[in-house]
Chains A and B, each alone.
Chain A
């Protein structure tokens, strides 16, 4: 079956430091990968969408300078949160999709900033 492995599951970083999270697609080709953040008491916000052979598109309020993303092949994507501060805490999800299928989500990376 199709799965998305996301790691780490939880991470704690000091304010002002950076952390990287990764997603691995298994059993399908992740032609499109989206990264989301669920802040406390909020719904999921799209950070950026990466489609193979296209430029990565960031949503308003999110930038490549803050959340650089790599999507080098059809099975892997990573995102880094640079200079993390309190407002960056939350559950980060990657969702990957092959054309005309459902979006498969990883289990999420819960970021705590101290």
Chain B
């Protein structure tokens, strides 16, 4: 079983709607969580990272982290068709470049 689990595997939301993506790590040594977005045929680009309990907002994107349960979620409000992509959650247990990726959530935003 993967150490980083993402749900749902795929998600369809209407344009202007809210998309909510979940991610949980089973590795208790994890300290850092990262959310990446990968458009088809491209490399992943970091959206947001979170290290502390609580919430972090940047524009239409909000990330929550509960360190006790090692659960993070990404919420995209006012979703746009350009947000359609594979969203990858990754976790790291130190300051190195080693990330463990989840299986991803494929988001489709319908116009």
Contacts and interface: CB of A to CB of B under 8 A. Distances in A.
Nearest to A49: B98
A49 B104 contact: no
Interface string A25-45: 000001011101000000110
Q: Give the interface SS of chain A, mostly helix, strand, loop or mixed.
A: strand
Interface residues of B, number: 20
Interface string B5-33: 00000000000000000000000000000
Interface in B47-100: 49, 88, 92, 95-100
B43 interface: yes
Given A102-B49, A103-B34, A93 B97 contact: no
A108 B99 contact: no
A107 B42 contact: yes
Given A32-B98, A51-B96, 6 more contacts: A32-B96, A32-B97, A36-B101, A43-B88, A44-B99, A49-B97
